[in-house]
Amino acid sequence: MRAVHPPGRPWRGRARRALERHRQDRVRDPAVSGATLWLTGLSGAGKSTIAEALARDLRADGRRVEVLDGDEIRTNLSAGLGFSREDRDTHVQRVAYVARLLARNGVLALVPVIAPYAATRAAVRADHEAAGVPYLEAHVATPVDECARRDVKGLYAAAARGEVTTLTGVGDPYEPPEAPDIRLDTTDQEVGDSVSALRTLLTDKGIR
């Protein structure tokens, strides 16, 4: 894997402001524990939808939460990276670095990012453990056929036309987690049910 590079200027200012805001909140309530909750799964599985819904739910309870959207980070922090395995790994490492910084400052970092390779995800977990930062992995295990039916971004149709050759789960591999902390399938499960399951997981793991 390549080394993590410092964030670019557009992202750096936002990250610094978020960290300072959450640092001040942590001083007021030092008992609050930060953590990273990584939602892995195929494009269209429901990762971002669940993460945003969970964030709204937790913020309503006064919880400090940040959602690290993969597409937004690719535009800023990972601008210039492609979809080779090396570039995907670098992208995941950068997202994980920001998540660890937030979590260390008492923030719950929700990360709806595909992270297709098992070894990369294992490295992210190990880095969190080495830093003493709680880390949870949720596999949003919606089948590829259902993801293709939804095709929110038009990627599966583009892959079928041969316009996209690196779509995870179609042209590029996706290695499902063997032992995630929780597994969700949004084929029939409502978003609210997924949110409830994740809130229960956080409570069971002592993350508040």
With 90 as the cut, is the pLDDT of residue 7 above it?
Answer: no
CATH of the domain at 160: 3.40.50.300
Q: How far apart are CA 149 and CA 9, in angstroms?
A: 38
3 state DSSP class of 59: helix
Query: Is 96 within the bounds of a domain?
Result: yes
Residue 34's SS3 state is coil
Residue 70: is it exposed, middle or buried by C-beta count within 10 angstroms (0-12/13-18/19+)?
buried
Residue type, position 118, single letter: A
Question: Which is more confidently placed, 32 or 206?
Answer: 206
Q: Please, what is the average pLDDT of the chain? A: 88
Strand, coil or helix: 95: helix
The residue that leads in pLDDT, 10 or 172, is 172
Quick one: pLDDT at residue 30?
A: 46
Q: Are 186 and 45 in contact (CB under 8 A)?
A: yes
Give me the pLDDT at residue 167, please.
96
Residue 157 has φ and ψ, to the nearest 5°, of: -65, -40
pLDDT exceeds 70 at position 1: no
Structural domain boundaries enclosing 63: 34-204
pLDDT at 2 over 80: no
Tens digit of each residue's pLDDT (9 = 90 or more) over 11-28: 455 555 555 554 554 444
Distances in Å between the Cα of 47 and the Cα atoms of 23, 100, 132, 135, 186 are 27, 19, 25, 17, 9
pLDDT for the residue numbered 113: 97
Examine the pLDDT at 82 and tell me if it is beyond 60. yes
The pLDDT of residue 32: 58
The 10s digit of each residue's pLDDT in 86-140 is: 999 999 999 999 999 999 999 999 999 999 999 999 999 999 999 999 999 999 9
**Is 2 domain-assigned?**
no
> How many structural domains does the chain have?
1
At 59, list the tokens.
């913020």
Any domain includes 72: yes
For residue 11, being part of any structural domain is answered with no
Q: Determine, yes or no, domain membership for 102.
A: yes
> Which residues are part of a known binding site for ATP?
41-48
What pLDDT was estimated at residue 78?
A: 80
Lowest mean pLDDT among 32-36, 159-163, 183-187: 32-36
Lowest mean pLDDT among 3-17, 30-44, 56-70, 92-106: 3-17
